[in-house]
Chain A
Amino acid sequence: MPTLTIDNQEIKVPAGTRVIEAAKLLGIEIPHYCYHPALSIAGSCRMCLVEIEKFPKLAIACHTVATDGMIVHTNSDKAEHARTSMLEFLLANHPLDCPVCDQAGECKLQQYYMTVGRHNSALLDNKIKKTKARVLGPHVILDSERCILCSRCVRFTAEISKSHELGIFNRGDHSELLNYPGKALDNPYSGNVVDICPVGALTDRDFRFKVRVWYLDSKPSICHGCARGCNIRVDYLRRRFHHNDGKRIARFKPRHNPDVNGHWICDAGRYSYKQLENEDRLLTPQVDGTPGGWDSVLAGAAKAFAGHVSEFGVNSIALITSASLSNEEMFTAQELFGNGLKMEKIAWRIPPGPENKDDDLLIRADKNANSFAAEKIFTSTSRAKDVEEVLAKTEAGKIKAWIVLDADLGPAFGDERIAKAAESLRFSWYLGSYRNATSQACRFVLPSTVFTEKEGTVTNFAGRVQHFPAVVSPLGGALPLLEIFAKLAGRLELPTVETNPARVYQSLGQSFEHFAQPIYAAPTAKAAPTSKVS
């Protein structure tokens, strides 16, 4: 455990710690471009030069291992001069096209110029022209002139995605980042190179020219793309909706969580934001495809339900639920339908298709965000857990009505089979966010919000409970599922349903020990809590 002094502050660090990491533990940020905690050390940018006593020259903080008795000065005149000069070299061939660069506003070149640069360029020679606007793959576009050759992206493809698409070619000031001939940057994690690129060399094709980053607000959230539950940051527009094609959510960015996803997310999750506000969203309640107001549609739905129950009994109704609902929604559904109405057929299990496989980085075969909680919550009372079984019983005429909670059965069972099975139903409710074969097969459609428009918690495949806040307000006439449950309970004259997710989670914790640990912030706390191990 060496003890070293950085800027007159002493710190004890584990053996093998780099100086830059030791400084970070003290809250001192040493400017850097090529260093990334998840990647190997390259030492190519030379921005992190610091003065270490008894060293003959300045040393790079990212590669120098902290040793006992080391005395480091990060802000000495020599170090500062070195930094400023290094930045001047890095900017020597920079095209200064910040006005058209999507990185502007979150660019490390801009940031360090304003904090440690502020120099006047002393270079007189013409700048080197390089490749501009070169498409590297389905998601990434390259501008070589902006590249500072830090090689973070090269190391990412070599060490993390292990797909080896990128390399640095040529020599001297003709060095250029390019993809290997015939190899497109199309690995399932390719979007991450945009995140780690400290400058505007690699930018997102999907985000290109959509909105300037300083118009975006951010909230932490949890990706609902698969059972991994990657921690993400949702960047959204709060005003100026003429940008981003009039949509509020502009992009997902990974949020560092060493226990779940590290620094990364997969491309499927990164671009899953697009469906959140696409034209398939259900925005108004419908009866038989005709839009109506909430009151009239709810009244009709409740009447159909009551009539059916008095004629056929509650056991002829099946609840088909998506395994992507939040813990709170599943618990409320179980309280309302399983315990309250004594419905015995609650199905959520749909086997993942053969094309879905776990990989050894992040991607999980199970595309539902919350299967773990569904197994915990519904198992106790349900007698028909597989959707396949419910479908078969419907086709046999034993099940005469469906209540579908945001489940899209089409991909797993085929649109025709769903439509045909639904024809024999006496009545059907669809409480969900998107228009699909299942929603079209159902009589009463009640639009619910997607995960960015509601608060809740989800449990990932490892049983980790993670909280996500409501990022934006509900789109159109959609309502959070908990509120729809409350309205339905009122119509069906059932006990009142709690709509505050924090209180629902409390009740959930009382019923299931797995959820006993508090996860919601105390009401006065301002910041949303990050994930916690259950």
Chain B
Amino acid sequence: MATQNTIRVSVRRRAATLSFWEQVYLFEVIRGLWITTHHFVLNLYYHILKLFGIRKTHPLTPTIQYPEECRPLALRLRTLHRLARRDDGRPRCVACMMCETVCPALCIQIVAAAVDDPNIEKRPKSFDIDIGKCVFCGFCVEACPEDAIRMDTGILDIASYSRGGMVLDIDRLLSLNAATERTDKEVDQLQKWLLQ
């Protein structure tokens, strides 16, 4: 009966219990060296075979040769922003500042202007996204009441030689289109822009 009343206290050790030989460490080092050397020799064998053209592929390296090879992007992946257009080509954006307000990185800057068309009334005079600050959270897309800002361009490699180059203006944002509706020619043009 006494055992039922015993409170079991389990002592949790910080690290896994090591045996004496493991604590000596030297043999563990040698074991580790054995694993790495094993990989080294095996890989070297395949590399040499490949170097002399005996094998075409290297069976052990999973390396993807980016940018020649790319992994397919998920459709819902958040990539570089773009501004969608209306059917008549004018921007859908009405400068309501929802995205600018919700942006946690404060990377969107919009200046509004009036339009004569009473059914539109307002448009963005300038719409700058500082990709250098953007955290790609996608809140702007969620917040947009006009479905004007979207993150479906499939462009991930964004780089520039200056901070100013990371700021995309309204013309650039309007010129992009969705990755799913891009023609081969447009892909080439995009490559050129990304490489410049």
CB pair B94–A212 under 8 Å, yes or no, is no
Q: Which 3 A-B pairs have the closest CB atoms?
A: A99-B96, A132-B118, A100-B122
CB pair A209–B122 under 8 Å, yes or no, is yes
Within 8 A of B (CB), among A207-235: 208-210, 212, 214-215
Within 8 A of A (CB), among B137-163: 145-146
Interface hit among B2-10, B21-29, B70-78, B106-114: B106-114
Q: Who on chain B is nearest to A242 by CB? A: B109
B112 neighbours in A (Cβ, 8 Å): 209-210
Q: Which of A133, A212, A243 contacts B118 (CB 8 A)?
A: A133
User: Does A97 reach chain B (CB closer than 8 Å)?
Assistant: yes
A243, B146: Cα distance in complex, Å? 21
Q: Who on chain A is nearest to B120 by CB? A: A100
A208, B146: Cα distance in complex, Å? 20
User: Does A98 reach chain B (CB closer than 8 Å)?
Assistant: yes
A133 neighbours in B (Cβ, 8 Å): 118, 121
A104, B94: Cα distance in complex, Å? 14
Q: Which of A97, A209, A214, A240 contacts B95 (CB 8 A)?
A: A209
User: Does B17 reach chain A (CB closer than 8 Å)?
Assistant: no
A210 neighbours in B (Cβ, 8 Å): 112
CB pair A132–B146 under 8 Å, yes or no, is no
B118 neighbours in A (Cβ, 8 Å): 132-133
User: Which positions in B face A, CB cutoff 8 Å?
Assistant: 94-98, 100-101, 109-114, 118-122, 145-146
Contact mask A77-107 → B, CB, 8 Å, 1/0?
0000000000000000000011110001000
A209, B94: Cα distance in complex, Å? 10
CB pair A132–B119 under 8 Å, yes or no, is yes
User: Which positions in A face B, CB cutoff 8 Å?
Assistant: 97-100, 104, 132-133, 208-210, 212, 214-215, 240, 242-243
Count of inter-chain pairs, beta carbons less than 8 A:
40
Interface of A is mostly: loop
A210, B98: Cα distance in complex, Å? 15
A243, B112: Cα distance in complex, Å? 8
A212 neighbours in B (Cβ, 8 Å): 96-97, 101
A243 neighbours in B (Cβ, 8 Å): 111
B97 neighbours in A (Cβ, 8 Å): 212, 215
A279, B150: Cα distance in complex, Å? 39
B109 neighbours in A (Cβ, 8 Å): 240, 242
Q: Which of A99, A215, A240 contacts B145 (CB 8 A)?
A: A99
CB pair B111–A100 under 8 Å, yes or no, is no
Q: Who on chain A is nearest to B117 by CB? A: A133
A242 neighbours in B (Cβ, 8 Å): 109-111
Take A212-B97, A212-B101, A214-B101 as given contacts and tell me if A97 and B121 are in contact as well, using a CB distance cutoff of 8 Å: yes
A215, B108: Cα distance in complex, Å? 14
* CB of A231 to closest CB in B, whole Å: 29
B98 neighbours in A (Cβ, 8 Å): 99
Instruction: Pick the most buried of A210, A215, A242: most chain B CB atoms within 10 A of its CB.
Output: A242
Q: Who on chain B is nearest to A133 by CB? A: B118
Interface CB pairs A-B, < 8 A, 19: A97-B121, A99-B94, A99-B96, A99-B122, A100-B94, A100-B95, A100-B96, A100-B122, A132-B118, A132-B121, A133-B118, A209-B113, A212-B96, A212-B97, A212-B101, A215-B101, A242-B109, A242-B111, A243-B111
B120 neighbours in A (Cβ, 8 Å): 100
Instruction: Pick the most buried of A99, A133, A208, A242: most chain B CB atoms within 10 A of its CB.
Output: A99
B111 neighbours in A (Cβ, 8 Å): 242-243
Q: Which of B110, B113, B119, B145 contacts A98 (CB 8 A)?
A: B145
A212, B95: Cα distance in complex, Å? 10
Seed contacts A100-B121, A214-B101; 4 additional CB < 8 Å A-B pairs: A133-B118, A209-B114, A212-B97, A242-B109
A97 neighbours in B (Cβ, 8 Å): 121
B146 neighbours in A (Cβ, 8 Å): 99
A99, B98: Cα distance in complex, Å? 8
* CB of B112 to closest CB in A, whole Å: 4
Q: Who on chain B is nearest to A95 by CB? A: B119
A505, B147: Cα distance in complex, Å? 56
A132, B122: Cα distance in complex, Å? 13
B113 neighbours in A (Cβ, 8 Å): 209
A470, B148: Cα distance in complex, Å? 40
* CB of A147 to closest CB in B, whole Å: 15
CB pair A208–B101 under 8 Å, yes or no, is no
